[in-house]
Amino acid sequence: MDCREFEAKLWAFLDGELEAAVCAELRAHLEDCPGCLDHYRFEDALRGFVRRCCQETLPEPLRARLYQLLACLED
């Protein structure tokens, strides 16, 4: 795996959406590539920070409107 492939799969990796074999390839790449390891650590820390800071719930009318808009995008 090269850095370009790693970049393309990073978000899915962080979201836990990849198969075990692909995750193993990504972890192996991280062991050999300090640049990608730094990027992974940054993105992982940023996601954790956002998760901790953004714990407010949406007002129900806004939530309903967002779901409605998302449903229109799927059609």
Tens digit of pLDDT for each residue in 22-69?
A: 999 999 999 999 999 999 999 999 999 988 888 888 899 999 999 999
Cα within 13 Å of Cα(7), Cβ side: 4
Residue 4 scores a pLDDT above 90: yes
List of residues 6+ apart from 5 with CB closer than 8 A:
29
